[in-house]
Structure 1
């Protein structure tokens, strides 16, 4: 147990506002997400007591005296709770005894291999934390808020961003991990390599899954990275990972890869939108593939800024429309949109008809099922051709389409004469 201390050079996160709103009303909140996204730093700023459970001595302390959770000054942070899954039930029972708000914060970087006996429903509220969005990186002051677009009032869209396509390529490479993005280039590459190596050598065994062929897992991850922002089937990803290899891993092996990577929050697929409407009877439900941070995908593929800009990246042969930079830019925007949407109590999907003749990159859906739709274009300028699918969607949704926009690498935000907004990626915020 350690006392609360000041975290240096902390960058405010969107989830900070969510915590500030929820913690005064809820007894326990769990921040979940991959290692390195900043969960501990964010939670520690609100804690008076911290139990760090990746420390064996701290785990033993709680095993020997579980009532310490009740006696300690609140809020109590239990960091990396999945290392001692019984703590979840201890917190749940403590909340049953005393449901006063602001008592517990938990952080977790994996789904525990031994599940708690109770889900925590009604006692512990879970918030997802992802790598830093574009707005959180301090690149520009967002001029357009997703929350404003979700009102359906068609707010004025104005503002600008100085970022160019080259800057977005640099942001993909730098990553949204707070402890990695500001390192010198070589150190950053080493840290990303170390992050990926740790997944194979430490995180998989800790999840109870021994990797017999690390090179096969690395190849599968690399093929998955090449499939970023596509709905490529897992069988095609496997074929791309093992091209020319007669000794392919069994399907159960690759299912195991997916399960563990999902438990570690490293896979972040974007589900297909499934509206209950007769005008959308033939939509594809396959998810779009994304890793937790597009920087991981770029690193797996050996891509630097120059290779992204001149489209000279080599990698597994996974079908993809357009250059890798376009796919990773879409992944960066998707990551950011999910952060903003969570703050607005909305969810993000994509739309694709089964025959592929219509596709909308992002659908942000409110609780009442009304939506804002986004196309993502790796271009600074927008033409009528770039808004075809948004107009198709508007024709079918009518007033249930609250707003529509094209996210670009351009410099100015504005509304077109057809009412569709054009927004530079860095100019959009929560």
Structure 2
């Protein structure tokens, strides 16, 4: 893929979503959804002639006062944080129905509050998810293996990287937030902690959930982070959030936390794969838990890069889980640009499981295993071969993502790709 739209800011890092926006230039309305601070406004405003920032009272009041007239424009309009004025969504939908010449980009960090009635926008407004920076989107990373090419079945698996376990631990803990990840370590830690605290103190109450004990929400969120890349039951997460506490968080309260954080795009579980036209009969329906950014998960758990790489600290297993989270972020972002969606496969009882299934719009599949080691063994790839036996030519490539230094293809056809080379 080659980015068509020129960067107006020399410091702007092209994002996978830019490729999608390049190919959707004729769409009358596109909504870019995602958590705060992932770069939605920067990406959208670059492409707009006029932007209304609706988290500012004066601009929200201006648009509300004369909405019909201001939305009729020959310019490309960006409506930033549109959820602060939900009626703008329906006004844009009506303009799309009327085939006006205006074009719209909407960005949002939350879904509207319950009770606010807006039309779904189906068939009128295209929705795109924007996530934190995948590793391959960050400065200094030069991928050599493209997910888009894997779907051709003829991808060239080559390249070398100097990225080490220590580098991955630092990249993971730095987060993929554009304004955070390159900051000095102490400032970065302060910014990450402030981000988490704002979610608890401001963003969650703004969504209508009054949290009497903010520490309970943080404990539940941390327990959820500890379950990253697993299918741990919500009951176990709930118990982990309040060990030995006679006044445990209720299940309803925990599910309320989950729903609110989902509306804020801060949780993004990997759904179980239920493919059509396959012989599978006993697949688990449980999703894999994921927080939107593995660096936020690490901060919630009090983990540092040094702790992750220390096998004596008890954090090694968590390093593996969070490394899979970082791989998932990369596969999701690059996969979305290739019109593919991510899920996972696990048979009931766990006899067979595949970490990530990337399925394109045409039914073609690329399967990924994730290993926190440089060189996979035959045992590590056995589930990939099992999947190939089940779905045949639909599986166009099999990949093990590692922490090694070289990308290569094994004699059995499995591609071995260090994460730093995947994009």
Match of 2:13 among 11, 32, 35: 11
Residue of structure 2 in register with 1:414 after alignment:
408
The TM-score, its normalising length taken from structure 1, stands at 0.94
Q: Does residue 1:396 correspond to 2:390, yes or no?
A: yes
Rounded to whole Å, the distance in 1 between the matches of 2:326 and 2:60 is: 37
- Provide the secondary structure at the position in 1 that maps to 2:173: helix
Match of 1:383 among 377, 383, 404: 377
Rounded to whole Å, the distance in 1 between the matches of 2:121 and 2:139 is: 35
Rounded to whole Å, the distance in 1 between the matches of 2:129 and 2:151 is: 21
Q: Does residue 1:209 correspond to 2:203, yes or no?
A: no
Structure 1 residue runs of 5 or longer lacking an equivalent are: 316-321
- Provide the secondary structure at the position in 2 that maps to 1:423: strand
Matches within 5 A, 1:337-352: 337-352=331-346
Residue of structure 1 in register with 2:93 after alignment:
92
Q: Is the 8 A contact 2:32 2:40 kept in 1?
A: yes
Cα deviation, residue 367, structure 1: 1.9
Residue of structure 1 in register with 2:4 after alignment:
none
Cα deviation, residue 140, structure 1: 2.7
Cα deviation, residue 69, structure 1: 2.9
CA displacement 1:261-290 (0-9 Å, x = unmatched)? 000000010001112356311111100010
Q: Is the 8 A contact 1:301 1:314 kept in 2?
A: no
Deviates further, 161-170 or 103-112:
161-170
Residue of structure 2 in register with 1:362 after alignment:
356
Q: Is the 8 A contact 2:238 2:251 kept in 1?
A: no
Rounded to whole Å, the distance in 1 between the matches of 2:233 and 2:312 is: 24
Task: Provide the aligned length of Structure 1 versus Structure 2.
Answer: 416
Rounded to whole Å, the distance in 2 between the matches of 1:295 and 1:26 is: 34
Rounded to whole Å, the distance in 2 between the matches of 1:7 and 1:239 is: 47
Rounded to whole Å, the distance in 2 between the matches of 1:47 and 1:330 is: 36
- Provide the secondary structure at the position in 1 that maps to 2:283: coil
CA displacement 1:205-246 (0-9 Å, x = unmatched)? 111111111111010001001000000011100000010100
- Provide the secondary structure at the position in 1 that maps to 2:292: coil
Rounded to whole Å, the distance in 1 between the matches of 2:330 and 2:87 is: 33
Rounded to whole Å, the distance in 2 between the matches of 1:128 and 1:187 is: 28
Residue of structure 2 in register with 1:426 after alignment:
420
Rounded to whole Å, the distance in 1 between the matches of 2:156 and 2:71 is: 50
CA displacement 1:134-166 (0-9 Å, x = unmatched)? 110133321111111112x33331111221111
Residue of structure 2 in register with 1:175 after alignment:
175
Residue of structure 1 in register with 2:123 after alignment:
122
Residue of structure 2 in register with 1:135 after alignment:
136
Cα deviation, residue 97, structure 1: 2.4
Q: Is the 8 A contact 1:49 1:72 kept in 2?
A: no
CA displacement 1:358-381 (0-9 Å, x = unmatched)? 111011012232311010000011
The TM-score, its normalising length taken from structure 2, stands at 0.95
Runs of 4+ in 1 over 6 A off after TM superposition: none
Q: Is the 8 A contact 2:109 2:265 kept in 1?
A: yes
Rounded to whole Å, the distance in 1 between the matches of 2:365 and 2:10 is: 39
- Provide the secondary structure at the position in 2 that maps to 1:183: coil
Rounded to whole Å, the distance in 1 between the matches of 2:69 and 2:80 is: 15
Residue of structure 1 in register with 2:290 after alignment:
290
Q: Is the 8 A contact 1:7 1:41 kept in 2?
A: no
Structure 2 residue runs of 5 or longer lacking an equivalent are: 1-6
Matches within 5 A, 1:4-83: 6-7=8-9, 9-23=11-25, 25-72=26-73, 74-83=75-84
Q: Is the 8 A contact 1:37 1:130 kept in 2?
A: yes
CA displacement 1:12-63 (0-9 Å, x = unmatched)? 111111111102x110101000000000000010011010000011111112
Rounded to whole Å, the distance in 2 between the matches of 1:277 and 1:352 is: 17
Cα deviation, residue 7, structure 1: 4.2
Residue of structure 2 in register with 1:185 after alignment:
185
Q: Is the 8 A contact 1:313 1:324 kept in 2?
A: no
- Provide the secondary structure at the position in 2 that maps to 1:67: helix
Residue of structure 2 in register with 1:273 after alignment:
273
Cα deviation, residue 68, structure 1: 4.1
Superposed CA RMSD in Å reads: 1.6
Q: Does residue 1:332 correspond to 2:314, yes or no?
A: no
